[in-house]
Each structure stands twice: as C-alpha cells, then as structure tokens.
Amino acid sequence: MLNGLNSVLTIFIMIGIGFMLTEKGFFNEDTSKLFSKLVVKVSLPLMMIVNIPMRFSKEKLLDSLNGIIVAFLSILIIYFVAVIIAHTFKIDDDKKGIFYVMFTFSNSIFIGLPINISLFGEDSATYVFLFYIANTSLFWTLGTYNIRKSGSNQAKKISAIDSLKKILSPPLIGFLIGIILVLLDINLPEFIVNSFRYIGNITTALSMFFIGIVIYSIKFDDIKLDLSSILVFIGRFLIAPLVMFMCLKIFKLPNLLNKVFIVEAAMPIITQSALVSEFYGVNSKYVSLMVGLSTVLTILIIPIYSIILIR
C-alpha cells in the first residue's frame, strides 16, 4: 500500500510541476509538441534498447510472449462491447466510428509507459510494449477504418504503407532491437548503454510534464458531456480493464504482466485518434477534448488501480 501511495504521489508531483511551469509561461502548446516528439522518437526507443537486455533473459522473454495473444484478444472483445453499447444506446451514426475507437484504444505508450514504470518499476516496460504491439496494430487497421467510415472526407485514404509506418514507429523499432539483442545474446558497449540510459531516463518526467500542460490548457467551463462521452469514459476506465482482467484469467502469465496489462487497459484515449479524426473530418475538436479529459481523469483513476494492484 505504501509503495502504491509513493508511486502515485511521485506522478502527481511531476504533473503538478508541469502544470505550474505552464501557468508561469515556461511551457506552452509548442513545448508539449516538442516533449511528445522527444519521448516518442528519441528517449523511448533508446530506453527500450537498453532496458530489455538488462532486465530480461531469453527464457523469461519467451515465456511472456503469450501476453501478445491476451492483448489482441482483450482489445477485440472491448471493440465488440463498444459496438453493442453503441447500438443499445442508439449512438448517432456519424459518431459511432469514433465512439468505437475512443472506447477501445488506450494511450499505451506516451501515458501508459511512464505510469507503469512509476508504479511497478522499469521491469514493466517490456510488458507495456507487448500490449502496445496489439494496441497500435489494431488502431491503425480496425480503428482508422471506423474513423474513415464516419468521416466527411471518405475519399481520403491512408495507404497500407503509411499504416505500416505508423505501426513500425520508433518505440516499436527500439523494442524489436531490444528483443533481438536478448535473443542473440548481444551485449552493447558500455558507453552506448550509458548514453542510451541517460537519454531514456527523461521519458517519465517529460510525459508527466506533458499531462500537466494538457490539464492547464483545458477550458473546463466550456465542457458539455453527452451520453456518448460518459459511455466512453465508462468503457475506458471500467469496462476495458475488467475485460482485460477476465482475459488474463484464461492464461497463466507473470504477475507483473497481469498488473501492467490491467493498467494499460485503463489508460486514456489514444492520442492518435484526434489526428486521424482531423484527417478524415470527423469532429476532431470533440475528439481532442475527449483525449484531454480522459488524460485528466486518468490522474483520478491511478490511485484506485494502484491500491488494487500494489499490495
């Protein structure tokens, strides 16, 4: 319990500093974009290349690969639950596609990774990426299909090559390099390991600062939530982790993996949903607001799951 409280307070302090620095004018929207690029394209990939060989043996890694099956299975079940709920509550046809996506797909890396590391330590990073493989693959296929179907710019199309590039993002490439190093028993020179570790260590702080900037930028007085918005939040923070919990019961997997996957399932709406919505003309302002609000709500959800999972 004490470890969970310490981890949550650590997260809150970093987010609070990000909020205060934004209020003082140190950070702004351009800063948040810079932090996002630094984390996704630089620090995360380098952290994976160093951490996976340090913390996983070949045997332990192979024993964990069933986690990918669980991740794919749970996300697909969550998607079908979203479809059932949308039809049951008669969500407008022009909102259904984006409703499915926001309900189903979580921000597994930019928010999920630093939170898991804060709660469970750096050993959790590899398990985060097992979930990420399923989450990002299904988003750039099933997710983008649903957004495109709802959009006003249906003539636009993201090619298969572009989708593959999105799936094979820098973090995933760093993850795959780390896996290869473990499987081939390759040790990088110490100066490379140290350099990559120092750069990778900025990941958590920058991600938490990013959340602080997002919270500061939201105009809460202008927020008007409808039924579909409330259902999305119920799906993200209650139904998705519950489905994940039930799927994990089917397989015998490491205890840490189980905890990480439940937290990953309860993370906020995937950020890329706003970008793809803008591309296809699907009310991107609404989606961006939902992404921001779900990120804020995550701050309230973390203590609950930390109490449940950290004992």
Share of the chain above pLDDT 70, in %: 92
Mean pLDDT within 282-289: 80
**At 106, is the secondary structure helix, strand, or coil?**
strand
pLDDT tens per residue, range 57-97 = 788 777 777 888 999 999 999 999 999 999 999 888 878 89
- Rg of the chain over CA atoms, in angstroms? 19
Over residues 47-54, the mean pLDDT reads 86
pLDDT tens per residue across span 286-301: 888 888 889 888 888 8
Domain range holding 88? 2-309
Contact in structure between 125 and 47 (CB atoms under 8 Å): yes
Residue 132, domain CATH:
1.20.1530.20
Cα–Cα separations (whole angstroms), residue 34 to 43, 122, 209: 12, 24, 11
User: How crowded is the C-beta side of 13, counted as CA atoms within 13 Å?
Assistant: 7
Task: Determine which of 119-128, 153-162, 250-259 has the lowest per-residue pLDDT on average.
Answer: 153-162
Total number of domains in the chain: 1
- Among 52-56, 117-121, 222-226, 260-264, the range with the most confident prediction by mean pLDDT is 260-264
Q: Do residues 35 and 209 lie in contact, with contact meaning Cβ atoms separated by under 8 Å? A: yes
Could you tell me the pLDDT band of residue 256, with boundaries at 50, 70 and 90?
very high
| pLDDT > 50? residue 140 | yes
Question: 3-state DSSP: the chain helix, strand, coil percent, rounded to 5?
Answer: 80, 0, 20
pLDDT given for residue 1 in this prediction: 47
Only one residue has tokens 């959340």, namely: 211
**Tokens linked to 207:** 């991600």
Mean of the per-residue pLDDT values of the chain: 86
Res. 16: pLDDT tops 80:
yes
